[in-house]
C-alpha cells in the first residue's frame, strides 16, 4: 500500500463493497480482518463494543475477528484474541482509542508496550511469541458512536505505518464502521420485530379432544413480521374459534393493522359468542366505524358439538370466509377435501353491509383441519389452483404424520421460500373423546372459566 494512493482507494472501495453486502455483523468483521491483512498489516484483531453504554467503565469488549498473513500463526492470533480482553489493564492502547475516538500508534517496541498493559499470563506469553514490532489502533466510529476498534500489528520485516497510511486506515475504519453499524441496526430491528410478532401470535388453546398446532413463517427476513396471522381461542360455552387471516401489505405497517383486527375479532367473538359469519359482519362494521384502513382476507371457524354428535363421535365445523383460500379437511383414512364455497364472501374492508354466510361440515374422530394463508399455495411461478392441487397431494402423502411433523413438512415442501410471501398455519386434529389424550398432543390448555369440550351450536 506504500506505492500509490490508488491502492488506498482500492482498499476503501473493497471494504465498502464486501462489508456492505452482508447484514451479519460477525461475517462483516471476518471480511474486514481478511481485507486488512496483508494489505496494511501482518496481522490484526477487530474488537466490538458489546453494549450501548457511553461510559467507559460499563463497556464490554469482545474480540470478534482476527487474521494473520502466515497461516501457521493464525492459531496463535486466535488464542490471543480469546485471552486479550480479560488480560487488559486500565490505560491500554485499545481502551484509549475507544474512549478518545482517536488513533493510537506505537511506532516501535510494541512487545514492551503490550507487556505494560497486559496482566501476566497467557495473553502476555502469546504476545512474546507473535513478536510485533509496531501496532496501530484505529477506532470504528459511526453516527457519533464508537462501535469498537481495529488493531493492526506489523513484525520486524515490515516497517511501521507511515502518516499517509495511518490516514488511509482511518478512512477504512470509518467505512467499515458504517457497514457494521448498519448490520447492528438491522439485527436490532429484526429482534424488535420478532418480539412484536411473538406478542401478537400467542400460543393456542388445547381443548381435551383437540390438538392445535400453529406456525408462522415470515417472508421479510429483515422485518420478521407481516400481515398474516393465526389464532385459536375459546368462547364461554366451550366452542373453539379458529382464525387465519392476511392483511394486504407487508412488514410492520401490515402487522400493526393485523394486530388491531386480531384484537377486535377476539373481543367480538368472546363477548357475543356469535357464529363465524356474525363475527365477521361485526368486525367489518367496526373497521368502517373506526376508519381502520385495512383490507384483509380471513377465515373464521368454530368447532362445536351437540350432545348427540358427541355420543356419535362426531364434531361440527362451522366457518365463514372473507375471500380467503378455503380450509382443507383430511379425514382419518387420508381423504382430502377442500371446503370450497359456491360464492366466496367479500374481503374484509370492502362492503360491511354485504351479508355473510356460515357453512358447516361434520368431522369424525381422527380428522385434521388445516387453515392457511396464500403464501403456502401461491407464488410467482405457481398459480393458486396449482398450489391447491399441490397442497392436497402433500396432505395425502403425509396425513399419517403427527400434527407437528405434518405442518413442518408442508412448510418445507410447498412455499416458494423466504422472500416469496408470509405463511401462517393453524391445524387441528380431532382425537377420540372416549380415550386418553395422546402424548403427542401435549397437555390440555383451556381458560379457567370455560369447559374443555366443544360448545353446542348457537
User: What is the per-residue pLDDT across 111-150, written as a single tens digit (0 to 9) for each?
Assistant: 999 999 999 999 999 999 999 999 999 999 988 889 999 9
DSSP H or E segment with residue 240: strand 240-250
Q: Is the pLDDT of residue 255 over 90?
A: no
Q: Is the pLDDT of residue 1 over 50?
A: no
- Distance, in Å, from the CA atom of 47 to the CA atom of 94, rounded to the nearest integer, reads 9
Q: What is the pLDDT of residue 188?
A: 76
pLDDT digits (tens, 9 = 90+) for 63-84: 989 999 999 999 999 999 999 9
- Distance, in Å, from the CA atom of 331 to the CA atom of 413, rounded to the nearest integer, reads 21
* Share above pLDDT 70 across residues of the chain, in percent, rounded to a whole number: 91
- Are the beta carbons of 160 and 133 closer than 8 angstroms? yes
Residue 17 dihedral angles phi and psi, to the nearest 5°: -70, -50
Q: Is 260 exposed, middle or buried (0-12, 13-18, 19+ CB in 10 A)?
A: middle
- Are the beta carbons of 149 and 170 closer than 8 angstroms? no
145-172: average pLDDT: 91
- Distance, in Å, from the CA atom of 371 to the CA atom of 382, rounded to the nearest integer, reads 19
Q: Is the pLDDT of residue 58 over 50?
A: no
Q: What is the pLDDT of residue 59?
A: 62
Q: What is the pLDDT of residue 220?
A: 56
- Asked whether the whole model's pTM tops 0.75, one would answer no
439-443: average pLDDT: 90
Name residue 392's beta-bridge partners. none
State the distance between the two ends of the chain, measured CA to CA, in whole angstroms. 81
Q: Is the pLDDT of residue 418 over 60?
A: no
Whole-number Cα distances in Å, 385 to 343, 345, 378, 382, 390: 16, 18, 8, 8, 9
pLDDT digits (tens, 9 = 90+) for 176-212: 888 888 888 877 777 776 676 667 778 899 998 899 9
Is residue 151 very low, low, confident or very high in pLDDT (cuts 50, 70, 90)? very high
Q: What is the pLDDT of residue 225?
A: 67
Q: What is the pLDDT of residue 420?
A: 66
Q: What is the pLDDT of residue 5?
A: 65
Three-state SS annotation for 292-334: CCCCEEEEEEEEECCHHHHHHCEEEEEEEEECCCCCEEECCCC
Q: Which domains does the chain have, with CATH numbers?
A: 5-191 (3.30.450.40), 201-441 (3.60.40.10)
Q: What is the pLDDT of residue 189?
A: 73
Q: Is the pLDDT of residue 54 over 50?
A: no
Name residue 337's beta-bridge partners. 329
Q: What is the pLDDT of residue 223?
A: 53
For CA atoms 53, 25, 216, 330, the dihedral sign is negative
- Are the beta carbons of 164 and 194 closer than 8 angstroms? no
- Are the beta carbons of 454 and 240 closer than 8 angstroms? yes
Which residue did the predictor score with more confidence, 381 or 110?
110
pLDDT digits (tens, 9 = 90+) for 268-312: 999 998 999 999 999 999 999 999 999 999 999 999 998 888 888
- Distance, in Å, from the CA atom of 17 to the CA atom of 12, rounded to the nearest integer, reads 9
Which residue did the predictor score with more confidence, 168 or 190?
168
Three-state SS annotation for 146-198: EEEEEEEEECCCCCCCCHHHHHHHHHHHHHHHHHHHHHHHHHHHHHHHHHHHH
* Strands ordered across the beta sheet of 226-234: 226-234, 240-250, 296-304, 314-322, 359-364
Which residue did the predictor score with more confidence, 24 or 85?
85
Amino acid at each position: 500500500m506504500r506505492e500509490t494512493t490508488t491502492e488506498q482507494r482500492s482498499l476503501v472501495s473493497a471494504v465498502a463493497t464486501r462489508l456492505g453486502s452482508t447484514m451479519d455483523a460477525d461475517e462483516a468483521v471476518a471480511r474486514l480482518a481478511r481485507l486488512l491483512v496483508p494489505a496494511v498489516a501482518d496481522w490484526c484483531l477487530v474488537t466490538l463494543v458489546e453494549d450501548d453504554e457511553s461510559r467507559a467503565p460499563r463497556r464490554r469488549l469482545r474480540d470478534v475477528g482476527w487474521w494473520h498473513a502466515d497461516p501457521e500463526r493464525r492459531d496463535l492470533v486466535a488464542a490471543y484474541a480469546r485471552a486479550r480482553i480479560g488480560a487488559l489493564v486500565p490505560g491500554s492502547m485499545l481502551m484509549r482509542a475507544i474512549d478518545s475516538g482517536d488513533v493510537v500508534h506505537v511506532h516501535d517496541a510494541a512487545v514492551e508496550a503490550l507487556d505494560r498493559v497486559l496482566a501476566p499470563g497467557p495473553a502476555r506469553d502469546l504476545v512474546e511469541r507473535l513478536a510485533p514490532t509496531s501496532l496501530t489502533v484505529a477506532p470504528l466510529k459511526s453516527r457519533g458512536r464508537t462501535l469498537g476498534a481495529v488493531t493492526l500489528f506489523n513484525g520486524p520485516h515490515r516497517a511501521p505505518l507511515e502518516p499517509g497510511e495511518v490516514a488511509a486506515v482511518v478512512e477504512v475504519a470509518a467505512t467499515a464502521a458504517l457497514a457494521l453499524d448498519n448490520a447492528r441496526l438491522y439485527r436490532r430491528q429484526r429482534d424488535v420485530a420478532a418480539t412484536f410478532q411473538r406478542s401478537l401470535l400467542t400460543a393456542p388453546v388445547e381443548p381435551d379432544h383437540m390438538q392445535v398446532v400453529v406456525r408462522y413463517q415470515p417472508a421479510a427476513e429483515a422485518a420478521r413480521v407481516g400481515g398474516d396471522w393465526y389464532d385459536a381461542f375459546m368462547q364461554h360455552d366451550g366452542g373453539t374459534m379458529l382464525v387465519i387471516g392476511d392483511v394486504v401489505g407487508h412488514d410492520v405497517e401490515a402487522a400493526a393493522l393485523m394486530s388491531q383486527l386480531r384484537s377486535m375479532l377476539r373481543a367480538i367473538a368472546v363477548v357475543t359468542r356469535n357464529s363465524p359469519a356474525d363475527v365477521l359482519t361485526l368486525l367489518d362494521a367496526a373497521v368502517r366505524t373506526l376508519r381502520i384502513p385495512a383490507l384483509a382476507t380471513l377465515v373464521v371457524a368454530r368447532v362445536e358439538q351437540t350432545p348427540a354428535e358427541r355420543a356419535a363421535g362426531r364434531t361440527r365445523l362451522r366457518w365463514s370466509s372473507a375471500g380467503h383460500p378455503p380450509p382443507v379437511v383430511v379425514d382419518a383414512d387420508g381423504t382430502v377435501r377442500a371446503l370450497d364455497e359456491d360464492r366466496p364472501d367479500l374481503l374484509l374492508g370492502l362492503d360491511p353491509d354485504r351479508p355473510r354466510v356460515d357453512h358447516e361440515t361434520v368431522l369424525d374422530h381422527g380428522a385434521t383441519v388445516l387453515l392457511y394463508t396464500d403464501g403456502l399455495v401461491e407464488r410467482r411461478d405457481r398459480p393458486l389452483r396449482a398450489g391447491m392441487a399441490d397442497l392436497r397431494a402433500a396432505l395425502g402423502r403425509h396425513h399419517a404424520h403427527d400434527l407437528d411433523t405434518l405442518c413442518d413438512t408442508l412448510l418445507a415442501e410447498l412455499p416458494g421460500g423466504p422472500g416469496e410471501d408470509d405463511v401462517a398455519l393453524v391445524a387441528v386434529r380431532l382425537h377420540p373423546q372416549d380415550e386418553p389424550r395422546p402424548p403427542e398432543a401435549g397437555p390440555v390448555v383451556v381458560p379457567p372459566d370455560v369447559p374443555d369440550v366443544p360448545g353446542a351450536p348457537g
